[in-house]
Chains A and B, each alone.
Chain A
Amino acid sequence: MSTITSTPVGARAAASAGRVSLLQRFQPSSLVLLFFVAILFVLIVAPMSMLVIKSFTHPETGGFTLQNYLAAYGTPHHVRALLNTLYMAVCVVALSLILAVPLAWACTRTDMPGRTFVRVGVFGAFLIPPYLGGVGWILLAGPNAGWLNQIWTWLTGDVEPIVNIFSFEGLVLVMAINLYFTIFVLVSAAFEMLNSEMEDAANILGAGPIRTALKVTFPLVLPSILGSALLTFLVSMALYGVPALISIPARFPVVVIQLSEFFTFPLRIEVAAAYSIPLLMITAGLLYLQKRILSRKGYASVTGKGGERRLVKLGRWRWVMFGYSFFVVSISVVMPLFVLLMAAFSVSWVRGLTWGNLTLQNFQYVLFEHTTSQKALISSVGLGATAATVAIVLALAIAYIMQRRLVPFSGVLGFLCMSPFVIPGIVLAIAFYAVYALPPVSLYGTYLILALAFTTRFLPIAYTTGSAGVSAIHYEMEDAVRILGGGRLIAIRKVVAPLLKRTLAAGWLLIFVPAAQELSTAIFLIGPHTRVVSVVLLDMSQEGQMEQLAALGSMLLLLVTAVVLIGLRLLGRDFMMRRS
């Protein structure tokens, strides 16, 4: 029996055989399914159901209540934070589109000079965690001492600030420059799928390059623009680091700050859970919408790879476009990174570049005198690598099972893998805290709880990469192994794994970078021995010790970049920049 049932054919046959008894239907392949369902239950189902249950639980009696929802939404201040968040997210998306879409078009479809430079620059925006970008901009645009304002005063003698980062506009700007990366990548991909025939038609009918772009090219990539815009909307609602730095001085209350306030004394986990349910529903609704939009084919993918793809000649607009791209890369990467590094080497960041202001003391402090930061650096990199590895292996196994239909109901697994996408990091942290930190599980303060939470958070990225990779490999090659007498494991080891190496490594890097810098999932789950750099930085930012913060931030950036560079070396550096 086992020889039959361990094959996919057997599994399918058994799945379709409805008449056999329950016991007869039990097969080894069901064990595989059970195994993965159990893992996903631990990672996703249990925390999320606990969140929903908690939101209806009376904190003292443990009985059913709606009181938490009343406490969460009965206060105008709390409702305003939610409305503020939605408004902010809309503005962030709008600005991100303005930053990303022209760049994506210019880099993929035009003869703009310096395209590689722009791609590398945008990739830099991916490497810099949002809270460090935020700190960079506080140094640049603090209303009185910020560099841009100082330069303005020096140039014009006017002491009124021209830019104030502690404002709604400042908040939106910092969010957008940290998030436009996603839109750039997804829209670039769509542009590269287009062929030039329709653009040619427009050209023949007398339209110039800009007009062609607006009338023909952009409508064709509209689905991916909308899809990535929705994604950015979700991410910006859930981002914690930037609001923590800016929204309090800007006096603009948002959901994530409110959620963290429910976590101060008196600890109101139930209210926090109730407060996050609508956020979860908005996210789920929007993701559904995004799926609908992207599944409406007939645009890009149909005309697909058939035709020829030529670069649009921009003529004198080449340099205008380059100027704009350079501007975007400057405000998102070059400028914040420059001031951050300068602050890291300064006695006082306001004094500027003088010999007397130069010091290594900040590095000495964060590396040797600060009692937790050294360990935090190791923890961050270690947790990032662990989460990336576990998520990739898990996602790949599930993607493989799904694509090869090795077990019945495997669609459920895929759905579960993608579901953490709808969970904002801070909500995930609350859910994990509720299930795993408290007794009887009592994982509070262990690396395990952090690794589990980080793995869950990045499982969707892993799954997307994994299933794309697996679907690209035809099963013929595995069948060849099977025919020659090898088992499935040999087929996986000798055929699938080597073919997937690149995809896996790319996916690993895509997870490692944000996981090593993860803040929002970590804030409620770290203990004194398991602090990660992001949390140490957040604690430092409360005190406004910008120089030390910058030094520790650059150390994190250095470590993450080093890992990425090694990875890119192994992969060939174009892995994220261009579709192969």
Chain B
Amino acid sequence: MRSTLLRAAALVFFAGATSVAAQEGESPQYEPWEQELYEAAQEEGQIVWYVSQTTSEFADQVCNLFQQTYPGVECSAVRATGSVTFQRVMQEVQAQAVQGDVYSSNDTTDFLLLSEGDALLEYLPQRIDNMLPNLREAGRDGLWFTSNVSPYGIVYNTGLVAEEEAPQTWTDLLDPKWKGQVGIAHPGFSGSMGMYAIAMRDKYGWEYFEKLEENDPYIGRSIADGFNLVVSGERKVAVAPVTLGLAATASGDPVQTVFPEDGLMLPPSGTGILADAPHPNAAKLFEEFLLSEAYADLLIENLRYPLIQGVELPEGMPPLDDVELLTVDPESAATEVVEIQDQFRATFGI
């Protein structure tokens, strides 16, 4: 009896030890093409990531994980709202002094504009086939690929709003009971808010925003601003990425997330490498990293939707297959987004 226990204990111990060893031994195991890319990237030494599609906190986490995975390649995340980030990228392209390497946006019209000016580097990631089939298509031309699945829903503060009172549809936000209590963003700053505005206009007409205006919403620059106002209780409800809502609930913040019955809004997101990127190999390595299992784990940990196949969704994360998704066609959005910004300014006076 005693010996069995001992043996079991020993087994557990050794199993643990070997699995630790396996883990330790695993991390430097790069695939041959990856090793080659990594060595080239090490010579470049760093990568600058212009990003608007995540919060800065998450962007920094991504960078830190990248640095752990590929020691010797320093990663700097420069996070701002979509149009501010795009402005910086365009400024660099115009000044012929590109300093950023990788650009990630929640408004893929940016990539159409960049590719028109030959400002994108063509690179089809080796790991593109790992991607979920429905995400893979956008990246076939090798200029950019879908890099973020972050649908927008409604987040409310549970300390201020009872569950049965919470809005269930986008049109519920027009109810006068939310006067002075809704948080949104400005499409002139937030790229994804521009996409949201197009999607809402297509579904409900511009009257949707005229009515929303009567409810005197808080207009932030980033969509994350409205979300943080709900967390702090400054506003009761906000249009926000559901992933932020889910993660906040999990970490104990007083918020709940609603998947609106009239459809989650999925902003078309993308990541591409700038043509004159000073660190092209590091940039390619970073793109590969975004399609790696390590990155998928980080996404899952933060209750964000993975990009690659074979990743199980954790509890509390509803699969997106069963819900209606509102999307915007990037081709037509490219011509409409400036117009929609002006319309927004006219309606909201800012």
Point out residues on A near B: beta carbons under 8 Å.
77, 142-146, 166, 244, 247-249, 251-253, 261, 263-267, 348-350, 365, 369-372, 433, 437-439, 442, 444-445, 524, 527-529, 531, 539-546, 548
Contacts and interface: CB of A to CB of B under 8 A. Distances in A.
Most interface-central of B84, B110, B231 (chain A CB within 10 A): B84
B48 A529 contact: yes
Contacts of B110: 265
Contacts of B48: 528-529
B22 interface: no
Given A371-B76, A442-B97, A544-B224, A145 B57 contact: no
B56 A370 contact: yes
B325 to A, nearest CB: 25
Nearest to A149: B234
B344 to A, nearest CB: 11
A186 B262 CA distance: 61
B158 interface: no
A539 B181 CA distance: 24
A264 B337 CA distance: 13
Contacts of B180: 143-144
A445 B75 CA distance: 17
A542 B220 contact: yes
Nearest to A160: B180
Nearest to B185: A542
A527 B99 contact: yes
Interface in B310-332: none
A528 B349 contact: no
A369 B64 contact: yes
Given A437-B91, A439-B96, A528 B81 contact: no
Contacts of A442: 95-97
Interface of B: 48, 50, 55-57, 59-61, 63-64, 75-81, 83-84, 86-88, 90-92, 94-97, 99-100, 110, 113, 180-181, 186, 188-189, 218-222, 224-229, 231-235, 253, 338, 345-346, 348-350
Contact of A267 (B90, B97, B218, B232): B90
Nearest to A370: B60
A265 B57 contact: no
Contacts of A248: 186, 189, 219-221, 350
Contacts of A544: 220, 222, 224-229
8 contacts: A77-B346, A248-B189, A248-B221, A249-B218, A265-B110, A265-B113, A439-B96, A529-B76
A542 to B, nearest CB: 4
A263 B92 CA distance: 12
Contacts of A253: 349-350
A366 B184 CA distance: 26
Nearest to A539: B80
Contacts of A247: 350
- Nearest 9 A/B pairs, CB to CB: A544-B228, A544-B225, A444-B97, A145-B234, A543-B224, A542-B222, A444-B95, A542-B221, A251-B350
Contact of A348 (B63, B78, B181, B231): B231
A542 B224 contact: yes
Contacts of B226: 544
A445 B235 contact: no
Nearest to B110: A265
A369 B88 CA distance: 23
Interface residue SS majority, chain A: loop
Contact of B78 (A249, A369, A372, A438): A372
Nearest to A348: B232
A543 B60 contact: no
B138 to A, nearest CB: 21
Contacts of B56: 370, 539-540, 543, 545
Contacts of A370: 56, 60
Contacts of B231: 348
B95 A438 contact: yes
A140 B225 CA distance: 17
Nearest to A445: B99
A433 B99 CA distance: 15
Nearest to A438: B95
A267 B94 contact: yes
A189 to B, nearest CB: 40
Contact of B228 (A369, A528, A545): A545
A465 to B, nearest CB: 34
A263 B86 CA distance: 10
B348 A546 contact: no
A252 B78 CA distance: 28
A142 B234 CA distance: 7
A445 B92 contact: yes
A429 B225 CA distance: 27
A155 B224 CA distance: 32
Contacts of B219: 248-249, 251
A371 B232 contact: no
Contact of A528 (B57, B78, B94, B221): B78
